[in-house]
Amino acid sequence: MSDVITTPKISFVVADQAINDRPYRVIIENDDVTSMDFVVMVLTGIFALTLDAAVQVMLTAHQHGEALVTVLPYQEASDRVYEAHALAQSNGYPLRFYLEPDGSAE
């Protein structure tokens, strides 16, 4: 009897890199509960906006119901939105963001 060593075949499922690299728009939705200071803190701390840009985004959302925060690759946008939602929830705020594909990249 001979010693035969076989290597099992392993398959990996890799996320579609094209989707992860595609730019997505991060949109903030206005609500009547989350404080303006908290919104600005999230925009500067999580989305890395300058103070002036964060205030402008917050005011636009307040006046128009929603506002564009930034455009990022999908995975980064998704991660930041998740972090913002978790921080808002842990502070008792209903602050919400959503993602949409960035049409300007097509």
Residue 48: give its domain's CATH number.
3.30.1390.10
The one-letter code for the residue type at 28 is: I
- Does a structural domain hold residue 70? yes
Q: Per residue in 34-55, pLDDT tens?
A: 999 999 999 999 999 999 999 9
The total of structural domains in the chain comes to 1
- Does a structural domain hold residue 61? yes
pLDDT at position 21 is 77
Domain that holds residue 96: 23-105
Burial (0-12, 13-18, 19+ Cβ within 10 Å), 59: middle
Closest by CA position to 26, among listed 89, 85, 77:
77
- Does a structural domain hold residue 66? yes
- pLDDT of residue 15 exceeding 70: no
